Amino acid sequence: MKPPAVKGRRSRPAASGRRRGWVPATALLLAVTTSCTGSAPGNGGAGGGPRPGAAGVGDRLFPGLGNGGYDVAHYGLTLDYVPETNRLKGTAVITARATQDLSRFDLDLSGLRVRTARVRGAEARIRRSADELLVTPAKALRKGETFETVVTYDGTPRTLGGDEGDEGDEGGLEGWIETDDGATALGEPTGSMTWFPGNHHPSDKATYDITVTVPKDADGDPYDVVSNGTLVAERDDGKTVTRHWRTAEPMAGYVAHVSVGHFDAAESSTDDGLPVYVAVDPAEPAEAGDVAALVAEIVGWGGERFGPYPFSSTGAVVDHLPELDYALETQTRPYFGEAPDEALLVHELAHQWFGNSVTPRRWKDMWLSEGLATYAEWLWEEDQGGRSAGEIFDDFYDGTDPESKGIWAFPPADPPSAALVSDPPVYGRGAMVVHKVREAVGDETFFGILRTWTRRHRHGNADTRQFVALCEATSGKDLTGLFDAWLFGGRKPSRT
């Protein structure tokens, strides 16, 4: 995630973005919610019989987010959306494996009315508790069992943020957001639960099929539907348009995405044959169309620097949502509320390696996503003949780069609260940690570390401990002092 470009200029984290320090009220509620069961996620309890799954995965920053007792393999989402009324009707088919004997399990869902829930084909008992949907199957689930849950629901999906955030912060929106000609769904950190039920913690990734049906507009023109992955089917029956998008690689819920509106779509491919799908709102300036060529160039460059691109397609969505003051690395197809500049496009595409393929295990590990994506911006500038990464590091250290404001507020690997997971230390100081590793081990070893990182944890989760261990094992050096000072230390270190 990154604040977007404005008229060729990048917004600065200290001044905007998800107003660093802002987090929606729903997220704050999740951050203070404790587990209903008192047992660790996936722990069936001491009694040996089926027990309820935990109402959280034990994440320190978001203890109420996600759920224990099962692991989702696949979401099949079938949605009907009417832009004129902002009404959504959905069916979620969730395929999961029980990680304990389960008498009940929870799904994260904010708002919307649940009509029915069935588990293994039998009607299940349901109850709502804040942003939890409690599902009790007709028959308990056994550990290791694969089971299918079907939930039908409808209503007006929620937009989180805006007037719930800082006064005047209209851009810190997430969830289901209405646009001038439709809607878009953005999920970081908790917005995905506003449009489908699921296990909405980054540690539980799954594949997706997302099928959306939309009636034609008042002029009889079809809406476009853009989502993650590859477009595998589309149908126009004269009154409605249906599009089916498939994400074949595991995806965290917070980067699942749908945009409904009118777009100019450009389909192409990279030199290696990777499909590129870029959708641009015609209300954006003509230069927004340049994004398509840049996507292919940046993805090719990233493959050389970070290892093979990890997904089966790429692209971008450039919408017209000027009140949104951040961009998001929605998987395979980053989302921008207006035309991005190069640095912003690099940042969000770098997240396809760092954040989407290799996803932080816990929210406190978010520096592994944002710090590495920010460092990708530095590398791009260096490779394009601008400032070297070392010069950018110096500008951050000296406080002369506008994005350096606030970077010493806390250690990148230890945000004090959920409200600070998108603050400057996670981005700018996180990138500085990465550069100090590069200085310590040399370029050949450093880029080997990055490529090993993306290969070893491809389509999985990883944490800070694993990154530190990889740096030391690959370089053969004890980097304790470096990480203690730059990653874990509470004060500004000396330059050397």
- Phi, psi of 374, deg, nearest 5: -65, -40
Min mean pLDDT across 111-115, 165-169, 309-313, 414-418 is at 165-169
State the average pLDDT over residues 218-236: 97
Q: Given CA atoms 366, 368, 369, 370 in this order, what sign does their dihedral have?
A: positive
The span from the CA of 71 to the CA of 88, in Å, is: 26
Tokens, residue 220: 């009889």
pLDDT digits (tens, 9 = 90+) for 452-481: 999 999 999 999 999 999 999 999 999 999
Q: How far is CA 387 from the centre of its chain?
A: 29
Q: What is the tens place of the pLDDT at every residue in 287-314?
A: 888 898 899 999 999 999 999 999 999 9
Distance CA 99, CA 43 (A): 8
d(CA 412, CA 3): 18
Cα–Cα dist 483/371, whole Å: 14
pLDDT at 368: 99
- What sign does the CA torsion over 342, 331, 112, 221 have? positive
Structure letter (DSSP) for residue 402: G
Does the CA dihedral 422-428-434-437 come out positive or negative? Answer: negative
- Dihedral sign for Cα 114, 117, 123, 128, please: negative
* Among the ranges given (72-76, 160-164, 239-243, 362-366), the one the predictor scored with the smallest mean pLDDT: 160-164
Measured at the CA of 19, the angle between CA 414 and CA 428, to 5 degrees, comes to 50
User: What is the CB neighbour count within 10 angstroms for residue 419?
Assistant: 20
- pLDDT of 161 higher than 90: no
Q: Which residues pair with 267 in a beta bridge?
A: 277
Which residues are within 8 A (CB) of 69 and not within 5 positions of it... i.e. 6 or more apart? 41, 42, 44, 51, 52, 53, 54, 98, 99, 100, 102, 105
Report yes or no: 318 and 284 within 8 Å, Cβ to Cβ.
Answer: yes
Spatial separation of the C-alpha atoms in residues 27 and 35, rounded to whole Å: 15
Residue of 371, 274, 282 lying closest to 318 (CA atoms): 282
Q: How confident is the model at residue 25 (pLDDT cuts 50, 70, 90)?
A: very low
User: Taking residues 47-67, what's their average pLDDT?
Assistant: 93
Say whether 297 sits in a helix, a strand or coil: helix
Give the pair of three-digit tokens for residue 322: 């000027």
> Confidence class of residue 320 from pLDDT cuts 50, 70 and 90?
very high
Query: How deeply is 373 buried, as exposed, middle or buried, from its count of CB atoms within 10 A (0-12, 13-18, 19+)?
Result: buried
DSSP result, 84-150 = TTTEEEEEEEEEEEESS-EEEEEEE--SSEEEEEEETTEE-EEEEETTEEEEE-SSPBPTT-EEEEE
| Three-class secondary structure of residue 410 per DSSP | coil
Q: Edge to edge, what strands does the sheet with 132-136 contain?
A: 51-52, 102-108, 132-136, 125-129
pLDDT tens digits, one per residue of 343-402: 999 999 999 999 999 999 999 999 999 999 999 999 999 999 999 999 999 999 999 999
Handedness of CA 407, 412, 416, 422 (dihedral sign): positive
Domains of the chain, start order = 1-17+264-318+325-346 (1.10.390.10), 38-262 (2.60.40.1730), 359-486 (1.10.390.10)
Q: What is the pLDDT of residue 47?
A: 58
Say if pTM beats, i.e. exceeds, 0.85. Answer: yes
Average pLDDT over the chain reads 91
d(CA 39, CA 105): 13
